[in-house]
Chain A
Amino acid sequence: MAIYVLRRVVTSIGLLFLSSVLIFVVLRLIPGDPTITKLGGGMTAVDPRAFQALRHQLGLDRSLTHQYVHWIGGVLRGDFGQSYFSQFPVTTLIKERAGSTLELAAAALFIGLLLSVPAATIGAIWRNRYFDAVLSGFTAVGMSTPAFVNGLVLIVIFGVKLKLLPTQGYVSFQNHPLESLKTVILPAVTLAIAIAAPIMLILRSSLADVASAPYIRTAQGKGLLRYQVVLRHVLPNATIPALTMIGVIIGSLLGGSVIVEYVFARPGLGSLMVDAIYQRDYAVLQTLVLLAAGVFIISSLLIDLLYGVLDPRLRVRGQEA
Chain B
Amino acid sequence: MTATALSAEGITRRGRRGETVLRVLRRPTAALAAIVVFLILAGAIAAPLIAPYPPSQFDYTHLFASPSWAHPFGTDELGRDLVTRVLYGGRTSLEMAALATLIAMVFGSIWGFAAAFKKGWIGEVLMRIADLTLGMPVILLGLVLVAAFGSSIFSLVVILGILFSPATARLARSALLSELESDYYLAATSVGASPWRIVFEQLLPNTMPVLLARGSIVAADAIFIEASLSFLGLGVQPPKASWGTLLHVGYADLYSSYWYPLFPGLIIVIAVLALNTLGDNLQRALDPSRR
A residues near B (Cβ < 8 Å) are 15, 18, 23, 26-27, 29-31, 140-141, 143-146, 148-149, 152-153, 155-156, 159-160, 247, 251-252, 254-256, 258-259, 262-263, 273-274, 276-278, 280, 282, 285, 289, 292-293, 296-297, 300
The docked-state distance in angstroms from the alpha carbon of A259 to that of B231 is 8
A274 touching B232, Cβ below 8 Å: yes
Q: Which residues of B contact A15 (CB under 8 A)?
A: 132
Given A27-B148, A274-B234, A282-B147, A149 and B139 contact (CB-CB distance below 8 Å) = no
A156 touching B224, Cβ below 8 Å: no
Of the candidates A30, A144, A263, which one forms a contact with B148 in the assembled complex, judged by CB atoms under 8 Å apart? A30
B residues near A (Cβ < 8 Å) are 132, 135-140, 143-150, 220, 224, 227-228, 231-234, 247, 251, 254-255, 258, 261-262, 265-266, 268-269, 272-273, 276-277, 280
Given A149-B266, A155-B254, A251 and B232 contact (CB-CB distance below 8 Å) = no
Q: Which residues of A contact B276 (CB under 8 A)?
A: 140, 143-144
A31 touching B150, Cβ below 8 Å: yes
B144 touching A26, Cβ below 8 Å: yes
Tell me the smallest distance from the CB of B229 to a CB of chain A, in Å.
10
Q: Which residues of B contact A258 (CB under 8 A)?
A: 139-140, 143, 232
Q: Which residues of A contact B265 (CB under 8 A)?
A: 146, 148-149, 152-153
A156 touching B149, Cβ below 8 Å: no
The docked-state distance in angstroms from the alpha carbon of A153 to that of B150 is 30
A262 touching B232, Cβ below 8 Å: yes
Interface of A is mostly: helix
26 contacts between A and B (CB under 8 A): A23-B144, A140-B276, A144-B273, A145-B269, A146-B269, A146-B272, A148-B265, A149-B247, A149-B266, A149-B269, A156-B262, A160-B254, A247-B135, A251-B135, A254-B140, A255-B137, A256-B139, A258-B139, A259-B139, A274-B143, A276-B147, A277-B147, A280-B147, A282-B147, A285-B144, A297-B135
A285 touching B135, Cβ below 8 Å: no
Q: Which residues of A contact B234 (CB under 8 A)?
A: 274, 277-278
Given A144-B269, A274-B234, A26 and B145 contact (CB-CB distance below 8 Å) = yes
B135 touching A296, Cβ below 8 Å: yes
A293 touching B136, Cβ below 8 Å: yes
Q: Which residues of B contact A143 (CB under 8 A)?
A: 276
Given A144-B276, A149-B269, A254-B137, A259 and B147 contact (CB-CB distance below 8 Å) = no
The docked-state distance in angstroms from the alpha carbon of A300 to that of B132 is 12
B232 touching A259, Cβ below 8 Å: yes
Q: Which residues of B contact A263 (CB under 8 A)?
A: 251
Tell me the smallest distance from the CB of A137 to a CB of chain B, in Å.
10
The docked-state distance in angstroms from the alpha carbon of A277 to that of B136 is 19
Q: Which residues of A contact B136 (CB under 8 A)?
A: 251, 292-293, 296
The docked-state distance in angstroms from the alpha carbon of A258 to that of B144 is 13
Of the candidates A149, A153, A255, A300, which one forms a contact with B140 in the assembled complex, judged by CB atoms under 8 Å apart? A255
Tell me the smallest distance from the CB of A104 to a CB of chain B, in Å.
15
Q: Which residues of B contact A146 (CB under 8 A)?
A: 224, 227-228, 231, 265, 268-269, 272
Q: Which residues of B contact A141 (CB under 8 A)?
A: 269, 273
Tell me the smallest distance from the CB of A231 to a CB of chain B, in Å.
28
